[in-house]
Chain A
Amino acid sequence: MLPTTSLANADVRKVARLARLAMSETEIETARSQLSGIFDLIAEMQAVDTVGIVPMSHAQDVSQRLREDTVTETNQRDLFQSIAPQAEAGLYLVPQVIE
């Protein structure tokens, strides 16, 4: 099944929600038209025969290195929290999640 390249506003709204991006109805409409143009560009690759081709995820096809499970980082909580939007008593503050 090939995906459709003509997007509906509902598709764009759903993707915006998945991407955690607030969007107004006007922005949804602009995004729909621009994304459709980009998907037309991308559509060219659907016709290519890739049967039997192994996907290439990494240019050098190297495998991930492993290391000993030992502590390598020192605790720098105060430094890291000094750049947080809101932190208090060593905790990052966010709106209440659990009632």
Chain B
Amino acid sequence: MNALVIIILYLLVLLLLGWGSSRLFRGTSKDFFVASHSIGPFLLLMSVFGTTMTAFALVGSTGKSFERGIGTYGLMASISGLIHMAIFFLIGIRLWALGKRNGYLTQIQFFRERFESPRIGYLLFPILVLLVVPYLLIGIIGAGKVIEPVTAGAFPGLFSNPTIPAWSGGVPPWLTGLVICMVVLTYVFIGGSRGAAIANAFQTVVFMGMGIVAFYFVVQSLGGLEKAGSVPMRINEKGEMVQDYHFDKTSGQLMAYQSPKKIGVVTDFSNSNLTDKHPHLSRDTVTVEFKKKNPKTGEMIPFEREIGMPFITFVTYLFIPLSVGMFPHLFQHWLTARNARAFKLTVIAHPICIMIVWVPCVLIGSWASGLLPPSIPPPAVLSAMLSLVVGDPLLTGLLTAGVLAAIMSSLDSQFLCLGTVFTNDIVVYRAGKNSISDGQKLKIARLFIVLIVGATYLLAMALKNANVFDLAIWCFSGFAALFPLVFSALYWKRTTKYGAIASIITALITWSYFFHQSGYGGEYFVGPGIVPAAICFVASATSLIVVSLFSVPPAKSTIDRFFPSQS
């Protein structure tokens, strides 16, 4: 119950912030869409960081490290620090400058003019929406999955139809999703992009802080960093995967087993060098067979897991973070900047912020491999570790608020972005800029945001059992496949309309093919472990270059306009 009270308090603070930001609202559509270009360095850093980090930053990173080990940090976090920083510096500032000078509010407005093609907007609009909507679903489904176990037993008479019997009395996912959507809708509806930026900043501070708090308590309970470092599961001389420790809840201490507990078997133990290795502490790949209980029959069934990661996967994963260059909601955040100097703090501090959030979570995930049963679902690892080694409902409530903060700080920007794109790129564009008043634009945007929130909520409830984190990687892959479009638009004068269209169509075809091959959302690698985004990116870039070279170059006036410093 304590946990629920903290979560409710947290949501009330968000509503209060939304009300506060609405007092700063200037009543214009430009203020609603891009905060009248008034956001300073700190708010820009917090809102950009909060938007790029979803629930995956806390829950998913811990779960992924539990599965694959500490290589998770290099695979997803440190490379994102480098690529994101470079994108903010090389792309963000240029797009902000062009957007401010030319009055752009959306990516599509920029691409239409840069590529001298109104039609390119109609091609891009459904693709961007198609990629943002699953991203929204991740947040709503993820929130439902987090809250139900945390509140289990709180309302035994009220909620008697839980997802699994152990969560009886917990707040059901439909209610969590509904409350989250209503809170986000409220502060976006009344505060627009400034409301989202202020709420994002608060939420980013909360989820960064909660990650550190969780880490501190776990380390204390495990007896310090050195001791915790010896906890991950180990391979013994027989090729068995064993756990050397267990956590005694009565004494609140880490205790060594008299004889290590066997939890799995290495499938290929011909390599005796594996003896006494902790595979979660390096990146060598080891396949292990574990067992889990079938919830229906009670029978123990085997399942395999690859710990570590193939080198080719590690290398090709660098294409995934390129996605931020094409996030339409991030484009909108960039445009809120007061001036170019506001980007300086984001360029410098973004990699550090990633480190602050990810390093503790990755460590907790690898330690959890030596204490939790291997069959536990990866998204449940962080809360299970806290429940096992800390067991304080107050802390659980705070951490849950942190996870919700990470989720909602992405949701708000995406809802706002879809409203902005629909209003400006479809309605205003079709009707003509001068035929719709500023007040009408505001009304249309707000109406569309309400509709998209409703539609997304219903879709999330229909797909509530989807594996949300695998879905996230597919969204990122799609945006990464479109990255050549934005990079060439800013750095290659010779890029043509037909090159751009070929690039978009190639990205769509290759992404759709691999998405189909994955079974519509599962983890999927090509050949020896190549990430599909790498192939989609190369295909998209190649078609852009080839078709551009064989088509008529853009007009000189267009080049002069989009490459002002060199003209």
Does A pair with B?
A: no
